[in-house]
Amino acid sequence: MSSGLRVSYFHSESVGGFYYGRGHPMKPPRLSLTHALVKAYGLDRQMEVYSLRRATVEEALLFHTPEYVSFLAELDGIDLGSPPRTLPPATGLVLAPRDPYSARLARCFPPLGLPMASTSRSPRPSSLSHGRQAGHGHQGCLTPQVSQQSAEDLAAAKKALEESMRRHNLGHDDVPVFDGVLDFSLLSSGGSIDGAARLNAGVCDVAINWSGGLHHAKKQAASGFCYMNDIVLAILELLKFNPRVLYIDIDVHHGDGVEEAFYETDRVMTVSFHMYGEGFFPGTGAREDIGEGEGKQHAINVPLRAGIDDRSYAYIFKPVIAAIIESYQPTAIVLQCGADSLGCDRLGCFNLTIGQHADCLAFVKSFGIPLLVLGGGGYTVPNVARLWTVETATVLDVELTNDVIPYTEHFDLFGPSFKLIPDTHAGIANLNTRTYLDKMKSDILQQLKTIPF
């Protein structure tokens, strides 16, 4: 039987259809796998399941700059110049071409001298109006003079596009411009904002959005597979009704985008546990980074070394979180549950089991404070689905036995064990000594003592 907690859960099948490009470690289909497993265990019947709503552009602009959002829209072929306030409904599978950036560039800037079949309006009415079907519409028989002029125009436009891509950190390996990138980001953000709104309204105790947790996105730039910071937008929503919000991040990477957004306020305390050192992305999150101005002492960083196991993680996580909740007295908590802190993750270097990861969630939940639970990283796809299913059950207080998982259309991907909780023990040494963890714990408890509450 479940706990009687009221749980709101956000998912739409369309998020699983986005594609970052060939070989990219971020694989949105993990969200479809997760939902299929959640349903196969019957967990969907014990909570309220909502479709993801796209955040509106206005909502996105509460954190991101208009220039950045417009540029994302431009790349996605969406005209914000004559805007529907919300975008049309999600369309299911959205597949990117193999190399979307060059494909797009090729459409915008066809090789000189080769006329391009164009459906575009020409000339471009505004910087926002070109997109998938855009192009400068080479006309077949131009005089040499006009040709020269249009070559110069094209070169200038190409330079401007490249400059914008650089400014917004877009288009390289980590953050490719894939088809539907804005759509994907708005869906992820809409789920997190709506989860926050339901908590604000007091109509649920816990809200879950596994499509959220994209903690690296900055005000005007993409970073580390993240384009729009759904977490910041959700926290801004929570701040409408909550005097103090606690953000906890157990993704293996530092939650830099969220920390940066609230670095100078005492209304949000950010806490990130992450791998730090050896050039590990993003390279921020040193113990010494504690916030500034009004926010001084309200950023807490727990930089860890590779190979941390269950015992060491619980040893630092539980007392630190208990002390933070005791002293900060948050009225809402957001927990980013990145699955890349599990052992055997394709990108991570920690050694947590599914059981310990879920215990962190259970521990946070045990304080009985309104809780928004979000996804994040996670690059060994079947383990992401396993973890987030177990965590959905944890929220519902449903115990799942470690048997072969129920059949879903994705069953084959869960081999060779086909168990719910396989061995995720990675053969890497735990470089977090007891002395290191003790020093960190006492530093953090010291930091908490300096905060005037």
Positions in the binding site for ligand VJV (CB under 6 A): 23-25, 173-174, 214-216, 224-226, 251, 253, 281, 338, 340, 347, 376-377
Site membership for Ca ion, residue 272 (CB under 5 A): yes
Cβ density class 203-220: b for 16+ within 10 Å, e for less? ebbbbbbbbbbbbbbbeb
- Which residue blocks in 91-143 are alpha helix, DSSP H? 100-108
Q: How far apart are CA 60 and CA 188, in angstroms?
A: 11
Q: Which stretch binds Ca ion (CB under 5 A): 83-91, 248-256, 388-396, 400-408?
A: 248-256
Site membership for Ca ion, residue 174 (CB under 5 A): no
Site membership for Ca ion, residue 251 (CB under 5 A): yes
Determine which helix (DSSP H) or strand (DSSP E) holds 86, and give its type and residue range. Answer: none
- The residue among 120 and 356 lying less far from Zn ion, judged by its C-beta, is 356
Which entry of 136, 216, 254, 298 is annotated as an active-site residue? 216
Residue 177 Cβ vs Zn ion, minimum distance, rounded to whole Å:
21
Three-state SS sequence of 401-449: CCCECCCCCCHHHHCCCCECCCCCCCCCCCCCCHHHHHHHHHHHHHHHH
Chain positions 68 to 107 lying near Ca ion, rule: CB under 5 A, are none
Residue 216 appears among annotated catalytic residues: yes
Q: How far apart are CA 70 and CA 81, in angstroms?
A: 9
Q: How far apart are CA 416 and CA 406, in angstroms?
A: 15
Concatenate the DSSP letters of all residues of 60-81 into one string.
HTTTS-HHHHHHHHHHTT---S
Site membership for Ca ion, residue 270 (CB under 5 A): no
Among 59, 174, 249, 266, binds Ca ion (CB under 5 A): 249
Site membership for Ca ion, residue 230 (CB under 5 A): no
- The residue among 198 and 215 lying less far from Ca ion, judged by its C-beta, is 215
- Which residue blocks in 202-263 are alpha helix, DSSP H? 230-238, 256-261
- The residue among 169 and 272 lying less far from Ca ion, judged by its C-beta, is 272
- The residue among 120 and 424 lying less far from Ca ion, judged by its C-beta, is 424
Q: Among ligand VJV, Ca ion, Zn ion, none, what does residue 272 contact (CB within 5–8 Å per kind)?
A: Ca ion
Judged by CB under 5 A, the number of residues near Ca ion is: 4
CB-based closest residue to Zn ion:
377
Q: Among Ca ion, Zn ion, ligand VJV, none, what does residue 274 contact (CB within 5–8 Å per kind)?
A: Ca ion
Q: How far apart are CA 317 and CA 345, in angstroms?
A: 20
CB-based closest residue to ligand VJV:
377
List residues near Zn ion by CB under 5 A. Answer: 251, 253, 338, 340, 377
Residue 347 Cβ vs Zn ion, minimum distance, rounded to whole Å:
7
For the four alpha carbons of 7, 187, 226 and 384, in that order, the dihedral sign comes to positive
The position carrying tokens 């053969």 is 427
Residue 223 Cβ vs Ca ion, minimum distance, rounded to whole Å:
14
Q: Please give the angle made by the CA atoms of 137, 138 and 142, to the nearest 5 degrees.
A: 140
CB 303 within 8 A of CB 274: yes
The residues of the shown chain that bind Ca ion, judged by CB under 5 A, are 249, 251, 272, 274
Q: Which residues are catalytic?
A: 216
